[in-house]
Structure 1
């Protein structure tokens, strides 16, 4: 064998070795895992596909553009879903790898105009926009303050979850989606259906929703105030909140930790079920409605009806009247007691405003 053939052989061998290395690296060392478990691994780390990008803009300090390398730098999660359509049809079971939206928003700085009624992002809406123009809406708080157990994610990899013992000669047809995701798929595992799932997300927009401020308290930081009356507002009609006949609610061992000030205490609280309270005061309201809670110092928190009426966290929400056996600070308080942070706890509550719908961005 002459030198030319030897060199060519060496190059081919090197290319084969490199290819093998990248295949194994891309599959995140299947062989090493199998050497320990003896079984083909299912939960294996994967990467965001090359060419995928995500823009975050709106009421932010700048426009943030993430390419696939930047997206791959975020800590991902691995989760399973059982997906049901809004009409109740079964759509399949899947495994996803994705980035919690929280991880992205933590690095994005919201910036409102100086004329905004509230200077924090907890009354903002976050709109996800797909490549085909379709949109889904969330409150900023449900993406950033809620518990981490079933986060909203932007999934970049999907595999069908199929039965371990399929019937021989009979195709399994229950999974609607057969291939991988295209780009980033918005996945909401805490919700009972796929109403807010969205394929090929390319943009996230943070925005304020216009609300008639007539009669609402202005923002006054640091003041001590209280409210002995809560008013409901819808379609410019204002009525006194009704609690008679509303189901009572309570929680023991409520761990209260703030995003800014840390540990606040472990408390017992009593009051009323928020779902029942809203249905009593806004007849016919449901998952498509939105609710803005306003306090006597102008503090605000926005909630989607889907969070309140369609999730376990929403089921636990309360209007708090007593904390550790004493009247709630400042009067009635909004109590999203399943939140990781208590920043949406709105003490001295004065108004609950129902917004019928959130319009898509034009």
Structure 2
């Protein structure tokens, strides 16, 4: 009997389009002999729509077209059956009896623990990181604070919220200019795919960059620029994670922005990266420590800056890295000997293993 797999994609996020690209790539690599695939699309306004089962890769284009169609009442997804008692609600799967959900969502309202929390409440197995890791990994400030607790080296940074900026702009500007060195990178704290990020080389550019970043989030992080190599490593597993080979990003622009990642194809990559055995070991150690301090599961891409003297500074981790044809996460595993299809298979297996482990937990104080 085939496993019923729900592909959850789209989302109410500035990274909606990235999710569509990921959904296309993943759906074309799934083993349809083993899985019965159901598309579940979230519109930009937050509506959930459920499509009919897909039976082969040729239908994946229809899946994306389904997602863009106007919503119809009978396409709105309902997770719980119409008739279910209060006592059995948490033990019931969806009305289509899905066995596992693969969230292919990037950014807020998908990668930040919100959807993961919903799936936990509904007692549904799902691929990838749980609520805590997703939420902490989405918020760059919280993530960096946890990394600091784990003793991981990072670039200097300053963070603030909109109200602080409004009330204490002069003091914050002084703090940044005294504690950070130009250039500065201004980022929304809760967004990925380089959306809303600007490089600033002077105060005038910094002011514009902050206002631009506030369009995407109420919390801003400003990081000191650094002359360093940009290296990445993919991590896979639950309690015993393992690392891929390292890859190097070789952007032809000032920095690795949204267009370079997903649109213009101008960025070059070195896979595997030319790194020493000692440097590789440092990166593996930092990637695993970052994975564990956030209590991650399934998958993570760890991004690093490596200085000329091979000091490893962790930049961030991505708890739902892209799966587009030009994405680093799958490329690094392919170079490590794990095919795209096998990677998807292992992620689903890890999700089911984590779910089964959670089912062994007791939910009463007497253990009955």
TM-score in same-fold range (> 0.5): no
Q: How high is the TM-score relative to the length of structure 2?
A: 0.26
Looking at secondary structure, tell me which structure has more strand per residue. 1
Question: Which structure exhibits the higher relative contact order, with contacts defined as CA atoms closer than 8 Å and separated by 6 or more residues?
Answer: 2
Looking at secondary structure, tell me which structure has more helix per residue. 2
Q: How high is the TM-score relative to the length of structure 1?
A: 0.27
